[in-house]
Amino acid sequence: MRHFFYLFSQFNCEALILFEQCFMYASKRLAVSLHDTVERRALLHFAKEEFAHTQAFRRYLRKESVLGFPQKSLLVHRQHRLKNIFTWILRQEPLAIMIPGAKSETYSLFYTKLFEKQFGKDGNTFTRLHTLHSEDEVHHVQFDYNFADSILAKRSFFGQLKFIFYTFLMMLFIQFIVISGFGHALKELRPHSSLWFRIKSMRRIFNWVLWSFNPYIQTRRSLKATYSQRKHFMYKFFLLGSL
Ligand SMILES: [Fe+2]
Ligand SMILES: [Fe+2]
């Protein structure tokens, strides 16, 4: 069970590092093209906060992890080709990280609450780290949506379609990374298990996360509420995707 908790924390911290690096890369690219100095300053401040978070998560993984991070990683830490695909998508469309990134931030806020309830705010390093992280993240989620809306409002119809296309591409690629990350985590947990056992276990874990794990259910509910309140037509697509 302890090993399972470490894998869970490693998986989530690595996922946050990945999203935050994408946010940093996208924010810096967008900031260059912005004329409005207030928007540019807000974006650079946002990137600075995400940089501080990635440093904190890396420090945690180095100190606490059972896997020996950074030599061993569940997601893309040592996979330069996969990282290059992320940067390629973000070069085509820096805003492509906004929707999946806001989802991961919302999810991290909900599971932090669960861990705080379970272990207390000072119960363990993972919870303490996430409690501190959520103090910034709680402001980021709205910022992501408002920022994406304000940029998209200035774009042509085709510019908005481009955003939708690359956001879905990003979502698909993230799904692939998450599924292969789950596969690596199961291999760590049961190194001698067969491929068939891992596929079956993965299906069970996914079903459990999607339909029984409260933070995920709360995230889905919160996204549906956010998407149905927002006016831009693209949210109708994401509403379908969040079912
Ligand atoms: Fe963050
Ligand atoms: Fe964030």
Q: Is the pLDDT of residue 125 over 60?
A: yes
pLDDT at 1 over 70: no
CA of 36 to the centre of ligand 1 (A): 24
CA of residue 101 relative to chain centroid, distance: 5
Q: What percentage of the chain reaches a pLDDT higher than 90?
A: 38
* CATH number, position 197: 1.10.620
Residues listed for the chain: 243
Quick one: pLDDT at residue 214?
A: 94
User: Mean pLDDT lowest for which of 11-20, 71-80, 127-136?
Assistant: 71-80
Tokens describing residue 188: 């760590």
Query: Helical H runs in the chain?
Result: 2-33, 37-64, 80-92, 98-119, 125-153, 157-189, 195-211, 214-229, 234-241
Which residue, among 61, 74, 67, has the nearest Cα to 185 in the 3D structure? 74
The C-alpha atoms of residue 79 and residue 87 are separated, in whole angstroms, by: 13
- Other CB atoms within 10 A of residue 160 CB: 16
Tell which phi-psi region holds residue 79, choosing left (phi > 0), alpha (psi between -120 and 50) or beta: beta
> Separation of 46 CA from ligand 1 center, angstroms?
9
* Number of domains composing the chain: 1
Ligand sitting nearest the alpha carbon of 130? 1
Mean pLDDT over residues 12-41, rounded? Answer: 88
Mean pLDDT in residue range 23-37: 87
* Ligand 1 center to 150 CA (angstroms): 21
**pLDDT single digits (tens) 192-214:** 888 888 889 889 988 998 899 99
DSSP E strand boundaries for the chain: none
Average pLDDT over residues 30-57: 88
Mean pLDDT within 57-66: 83
User: Which structural domain, as residue segments, surrounds residue 130?
Assistant: 2-241
Written as one letter, the residue type at 17 is I
